[in-house]
Amino acid sequence: MYESGVRGLQRHDYEGAATQFRTIIERYPEERELQERSQLYLRVCERETARRPPTPQTPQERVYAATVAFNAGETGAALDHLRRALHDAPDSDHAHYIMSVALAASGSGGEALEHLRRAITLNPENRGLARQDPDLEPLRRSPGFAELVNGPAGASKGRPRKRR
């Protein structure tokens, strides 16, 4: 049981290892040396578990986690969070926008433009944001980007178009 706990600790399976050490502490109170080592390792497991951020549960939490991951240079993790967010909330303009930023950074320009288009369709205010966003620089030369962010005549000024 002790060896299993130590292996779990080495694999960074802190929750599994903590379970093993707690069991040892409960079952073998008379084994002083084993108790001391188990308590020490249990504290390590608890400290490491406390450091881990909770797993995002809602689409908003996933978009936030994606933003944090992207800013930390972890584009793959950001994309994973965003895919999950969009699975649960396909009409989240914010998730589509951040997805376009992450995809642009990963070199997937076509897919990034589609998510940007969807973000702007869901919330036209994203058009102005996209015009100035330096994270979308990789898309600026892509066919359709200028038309997408400039929109129809008058859209950039927030006025409805006149009908003739």
pLDDT at 55: 78
Q: pLDDT tens digit string along 15-48?
A: 899 999 999 999 999 999 999 999 999 999 988 8
Distances (CA, A) of 143 to 109, 147, 163: 10, 8, 28
The full set of domain ranges for the chain reads 2-51, 59-157
Distances (CA, A) of 19 to 15, 52, 88, 127: 6, 17, 33, 51
Q: pLDDT tens digit string along 59-93?
A: 999 999 999 888 888 899 899 999 999 999 999 99
Predicted model pTM:
0.62
Q: From CA 5, how far away is CA 44, in angstroms rounded?
A: 12
Say which CATH class 59-157 falls into.
mainly alpha
